[in-house]
Amino acid sequence: MAEREATDALASAPDAELVLRAREDPSGPPFETLYERHRGDVFRYLLGIVSERELAEDLVQDTFLRIYEHLGRFDATRAFRPWLYHIARNVALNALRSRRLKEKAGGELPERAASDRIAVQVETGDAVAKARAALAALEDEERALLVERVGLGMKMGELAESLGVTERTVRNRLDAAIDRLTRAFLGKSGGPGAEPTDKKGGA
């Protein structure tokens, strides 16, 4: 009975409290509760960036290993989710950079993840696949931002805190990413690095 109550208490505890408890017992139930609470969303987020299930699964483990190793760095007065996705984003982007460096060193042309499968589906007129192809055509950082905002429903304040920028900068980056995503979806010119049309404002 007491064990069940303790489990229920952990399940309802805020993230910051679980982190504090995990610092005292890193291998115990508090960290396991954090992992179980967030691993599904983290996996979907990483899959949205790298587009490869096996790689995303590996990166989930890498992300929570980083969380585990840096529990002491978390500021318990701030929200946990921005910190979590800051780490997950860096893990994903580093993995993609490392893969492209290996491809370049091996004389292979860098590929967008799952590009062949997506291309075939687009040719059949699959609108969902076409949207995925457009998303894959973005720069990694832009794709990560859109997945955070649309896929995870993160608020502007959370995104700003996670990225270490102002909300205005987040809005500008989102506007630019959405503009490029729309152009890629419609097959218009303007790939990664192109300036969005009719967009003003800076970081």
pLDDT in tens, the chain (203 residues): 556 666 677 888 999 999 999 999 888 999 999 999 999 999 999 999 998 999 999 999 999 999 999 999 999 899 999 999 999 999 999 999 988 888 777 655 444 443 333 333 434 445 666 777 777 788 999 999 999 998 888 999 999 999 999 999 999 999 998 888 888 878 764 444 444 444 444 43
* Distance between CA atoms of residues 31 and 71, nearest Å: 10
Which residue, of 111, 136, 168, is where some domain finishes?
111
Expressed as residue numbers, the domain containing 39 is 8-111
Number of domains in the chain: 2
Does 61 reside within a domain?
yes
Q: Return the HEC string of 16-44.
A: HHHHHHHHHCCCCHHHHHHHHHHHHHHHH
Domain final residue pick, 85, 111, 137: 111
119 domain-assigned? no
Q: Let me know whether 77 and 133 are in one domain.
A: no
What is the value of pTM for the model shown? 0.71
